[in-house]
C-alpha cells in the first residue's frame, strides 16, 4: 500500500534525524509560496456551516487516539449565545509512550497546523485557540510561538486577522505549555490544566463541546486532525475519500493518510506518513527497513501502550480504525507502534508499561489508583519468579475490572492499563505461565 503523494508531510521532503534545532522549519513565506493559507482563503469564502459540513462529510476521524469524527464533534457545539467566548484546545500533549507524530508537524510545518486551527475556528465560530503542548517539547513550543507571531503579522489571527479583513471574525491564538503529566492529554484533564488547576479529568457528560474551558463551548482536537483539514477544504471530500479504506464491518471508514511513528526493534525507526489500512508488516518492511538484525517479529504495541498488544500472528494487521475489532486490541490509538523482536521479554514489557500507568494515574478513581499499584506489584512478582498461577489470574481479574468501558472510572487511562495487561497476558500466556508456580505449592516449600 504505497503512499501516492504525501499530504501532511508534503513540505517535509524526507524525515530527517538528528538534532531538531538543525532542521529546516517551513516559515510563513515559504508556506505561502507552496499554496499555504489557500485553503483558509477558500474557507473564508464559504459560510462557516458549509466548511463544517465539508469536514463532516469527509469523515475525518480524530488522530489523537479515539478516532471520533471531527466534523461530527464540531456539530455538537450549541449555537452562539453571545454570553462569552468559545474555545478551541489543540492537543499536542503527546505523552502516550511510543508516540512521536504531532511534534513532527510542529517541528517542520507549524503553519499547516495553524491553517487547520484557523479553519476550525472559522467553521465552528470559536474565538480563542489554545495550543496545549507537552512540557518537554521546549523547542516545539518556541517554534509554534514564532509561527503564531508570523500568523498574527500576516493577518490571520487577532483583531486585524482572518486573512486581513476577509472575515470580521477574530481569533486569538496562544501556546499553553503543559506542566508535564500524561493525564493532561485527556481532553478534560487538559481543560483543567489550562484553567490552572490540577489535571484531573472531569466526569462526562457534559462534554466539552457543550461545557468545556471556563464552562464555555469548547472543541478539543489533536494536532494531526487539524493539520488534515486544509487539504480536505482545498481538494474536496471525494479526493479525501479516495485515500484509505472502508470499514470491513460496515462501520465508519478510515479515510486519509496517517502519521505512524514506529519505534522498537526495526532497522530504521521513525515517523512516516502512510495510507490508513497499511499492513503493519509492510510498514515495518517497506518504511522501516525490516526487523533489526533480521530477527523475527514477536509482537507489537498497537498504537501507544493504551491500545494493548498485537500477537506474533498479527504482524499483517491492517493499521486502520477497525484494528480493535479485528485484532482484539482497544483500537488504532495514535497509530504509533512499538515493535518487539523474538528476544523480547514480554513480562518485562508488561511490568514496564504497568509502572507507567501506576505513576500516571491521577488518583481520583479507586479502581485505577489502587488497581494500577496492585497490577504493578503482581507483575513485579511474576517478573522476579515469586508469583503463582493464582497471581496471574488475579492480575487479569484486576485489570478487567477497571476502565471507562467497565463503568468504574472517570477517564480512559484505566482502560489503557486494562487492555495492555489483558492482551499481553492472553497473547503471550505461555511466557507468563513459565514464570509462575502452580498455585497449590506454598511459596516457602518451593526451591528458589
Ligand X SMILES: Cc1cc2nc3c(=O)[nH]c(=O)nc-3n(C[C@H](O)[C@H](O)[C@H](O)COP(=O)(O)O)c2cc1C
Residues that bind ligand X (CB under 6 A): 62-66, 68, 70, 91, 93-96, 182-183, 185-187, 220-222, 225, 411-413
**Least distance from ligand SF4 to the Cβ atom of residue 356, Å:** 12
Instruction: Rank residues 288 and 330 by Cβ distance to ligand X and give the closer one.
Output: 330
Member of 284, 365, 382, 395 binding ligand SF4 (CB under 6 A)? 365
Indicate which of ligand X, ligand SF4, none lies near residue 369 (CB less than 5 to 8 Å, by partner kind): ligand SF4
CA distance 100 to 286: 19
**Which single residue is written with the C-alpha cell 521513525?**
270
Question: Sign of the C-alpha dihedral, residues 77, 78, 81, 83?
Answer: negative
Contact between 305 and ligand SF4 per CB under 6 A: no
**Least distance from ligand X to the Cβ atom of residue 67, Å:** 7
Cell of 137: 517539547
Instruction: Rank residues 187 and 224 by Cβ distance to ligand SF4 and give the closer one.
Output: 187
Contact between 414 and ligand SF4 per CB under 6 A: yes
Instruction: Rank residues 221 and 361 by Cβ distance to ligand SF4 and give the closer one.
Output: 361
Member of 9, 221, 361, 388 binding ligand SF4 (CB under 6 A)? 361
Nearest by Cα to 199 from 406, 411, 376, 366: 411
**Least distance from ligand SF4 to the Cβ atom of residue 415, Å:** 8
Question: Could you tell me which residues come within 8 angstroms of residue 173 by beta carbon, excluding any fewer than 6 positions away?
Answer: 114, 117, 128, 129, 131, 148, 151, 152, 157
Indicate which of ligand SF4, ligand X, none lies near residue 368 (CB less than 5 to 8 Å, by partner kind): ligand SF4
Confirm if 366 and 410 have CB atoms less than 8 A apart.
Answer: no
**Least distance from ligand SF4 to the Cβ atom of residue 44, Å:** 39
Confirm if 363 and 198 have CB atoms less than 8 A apart.
Answer: no
**Least distance from ligand X to the Cβ atom of residue 78, Å:** 19
Confirm if 296 and 425 have CB atoms less than 8 A apart.
Answer: no
Contact between 346 and ligand SF4 per CB under 6 A: no
Instruction: Rank residues 212 and 270 by Cβ distance to ligand X and give the closer one.
Output: 212
Contact between 438 and ligand SF4 per CB under 6 A: no
Indicate which of ligand X, ligand SF4, none lies near residue 364 (CB less than 5 to 8 Å, by partner kind): ligand SF4
**Least distance from ligand X to the Cβ atom of residue 436, Å:** 30
Indicate which of ligand X, ligand SF4, none lies near residue 396 (CB less than 5 to 8 Å, by partner kind): none
**Least distance from ligand SF4 to the Cβ atom of residue 248, Å:** 31
Instruction: Rank residues 277 and 304 by Cβ distance to ligand X and give the closer one.
Output: 304
Instruction: Rank residues 154 and 190 by Cβ distance to ligand SF4 and give the closer one.
Output: 190
CA distance 351 to 345: 10
What stretch of H or E contains 235?
Answer: helix 223-235
Instruction: Rank residues 92 and 392 by Cβ distance to ligand X and give the closer one.
Output: 92
Contact between 183 and ligand SF4 per CB under 6 A: yes
Contact between 369 and ligand SF4 per CB under 6 A: yes
Stretch that binds ligand SF4, among 103-111, 149-157, 411-419, 439-447 (CB under 6 A): 411-419
Question: Could you tell me which residues come within 8 angstroms of residue 142 by beta carbon, excluding any fewer than 6 positions away?
Answer: none
Contact between 362 and ligand SF4 per CB under 6 A: yes
CA distances from 345 to 274, 307, 383 (A): 29, 19, 9
**Least distance from ligand X to the Cβ atom of residue 354, Å:** 15
**Least distance from ligand X to the Cβ atom of residue 437, Å:** 35
Instruction: Rank residues 220 and 387 by Cβ distance to ligand X and give the closer one.
Output: 220
| Number of DSSP helices (H) and strands (E) in the chain, helices first | 18, 13
Task: Annotate 166-203 with DSSP letters as a single string.
Answer: T----BEEEEEE--S-GGGGSHHHHHHHHTTS--PPPP
Contacts of 43-48 with CB under 8 Å at 24 or more apart are: 43/119, 43/122, 43/123, 43/233, 44/122, 44/162, 44/163, 44/166, 44/167, 45/166, 48/122, 48/123, 48/124, 48/125
Cell of 27: 516559515
Indicate which of ligand X, ligand SF4, none lies near residue 361 (CB less than 5 to 8 Å, by partner kind): ligand SF4
Instruction: Rank residues 378 and 404 by Cβ distance to ligand X and give the closer one.
Output: 404
Please give the size of the binding site for ligand SF4, defined by CB under 6 A.
14
Beta strands across the sheet bearing 87-92:
172-177, 128-133, 87-92, 218-222
CA distance 336 to 408: 27
Contact between 52 and ligand SF4 per CB under 6 A: no
- The DSSP call for residue 283 is I
Residues of this chain that bind ligand SF4 (CB under 6 A): 183, 201, 361-365, 368-369, 409-411, 413-414
Amino acid at each position: 500500500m504505497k503512499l501516492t503523494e504525501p499530504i501532511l508531510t508534503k513540505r517535509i521532503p524526507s524525515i530527517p534525524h538528528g538534532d531538531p534545532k538543525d532542521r529546516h522549519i517551513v516559515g510563513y513565506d515559504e508556506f505561502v509560496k507552496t499554496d499555504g493559507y489557500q485553503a483558509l482563503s477558500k474557507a473564508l469564502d464559504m459560510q462557516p456551516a458549509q466548511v463544517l459540513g465539508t469536514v463532516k462529510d469527509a469523515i475525518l476521524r480524530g488522530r489523537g487516539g479515539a478516532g471520533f469524527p471531527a466534523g461530527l464533534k464540531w456539530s455538537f457545539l450549541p449555537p452562539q449565545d453571545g454570553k462569552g467566548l468559545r474555545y478551541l484546545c489543540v492537543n499536542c500533549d503527546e505523552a502516550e509512550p511510543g508516540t512521536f507524530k504531532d511534534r513532527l508537524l510542529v517541528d517542520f510545518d507549524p503553519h499547516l497546523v495553524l491553517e487547520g486551527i484557523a479553519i476550525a475556528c472559522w467553521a465552528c465560530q470559536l474565538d480563542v485557540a489554545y495550543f496545549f503542548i507537552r512540557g518537554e517539547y521546549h523547542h516545539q513550543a518556541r517554534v509554534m510561538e514564532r509561527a503564531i507571531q508570523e500568523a498574527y503579522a500576516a493577518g490571520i489571527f487577532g483583531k486585524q486577522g482572518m486573512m486581513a479583513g476577509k472575515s470580521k471574525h477574530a481569533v486569538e491564538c496562544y501556546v499553553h505549555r503543559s506542566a508535564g503529566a500524561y493525564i493532561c492529554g485527556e481532553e478534560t484533564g487538559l481543560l483543567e490544566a489550562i484553567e490552572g488547576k490540577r489535571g484531573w479529568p472531569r466526569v462526562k457528560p457534559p462534554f466539552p463541546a457543550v461545557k468545556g474551558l471556563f464552562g464555555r463551548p469548547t472543541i478539543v482536537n489533536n494536532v494531526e486532525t487539524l493539520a488534515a483539514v486544509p487539504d480536505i477544504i482545498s481538494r474536496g471530500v471525494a479526493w479525501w475519500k479516495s485515500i484509505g479504506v472502508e470499514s470491513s464491518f460496515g462501520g465508519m471508514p478510515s479515510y486519509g493518510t496517517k502519521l505512524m511513528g514506529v519505534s522498537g526493534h526495526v532497522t530504521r525507526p521513525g515517523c512516516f506518513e502512510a495510507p490508513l489500512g497499511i499492513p503493519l508488516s509492510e510498514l515495518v518492511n517497506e518504511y522501516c527497513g525490516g526487523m533489526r538484525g533480521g530477527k523475527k517479529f514477536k509482537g507489537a504495541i498497537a498504537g501507544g501502550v493504551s491500545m494493548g498488544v498485537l500477537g506474533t500472528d498479527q504482524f499483517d494487521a491492517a493499521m486502520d480504525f477497525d484494528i480493535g475489532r479485528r485484532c482484539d486490541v482497544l483500537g488504532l490509538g495514535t497509530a504509533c507502534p512499538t515493535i518487539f523482536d523474538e528476544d523480547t521479554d514480554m513480562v518485562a514489557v508488561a511490568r514496564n508499561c504497568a509502572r507507567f500507568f501506576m505513576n500516571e494515574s491521577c488518583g481520583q478513581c479507586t479502581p485505577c489508583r489502587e488497581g494500577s499499584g496492585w497490577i504493578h506489584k503482581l507483575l513485579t512478582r511474576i517478573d522476579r519468579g515469586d508469583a503463582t498461577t493464582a497471581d496471574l489470574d488475579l492480575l487479569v481479574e484486576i485489570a478487567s475490572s477497571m476502565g471507562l468501558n467497565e463503568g468504574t472510572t472517570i477517564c480512559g487511562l484505566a482502560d489503557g492499563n486494562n487492555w495492555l495487561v489483558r492482551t499481553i497476558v492472553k497473547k503471550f500466556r505461555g511466557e507468563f505461565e513459565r514464570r509462575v508456580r502452580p498455585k497449590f505449592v506454598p511459596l516457602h516449600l518451593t526451591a528458589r
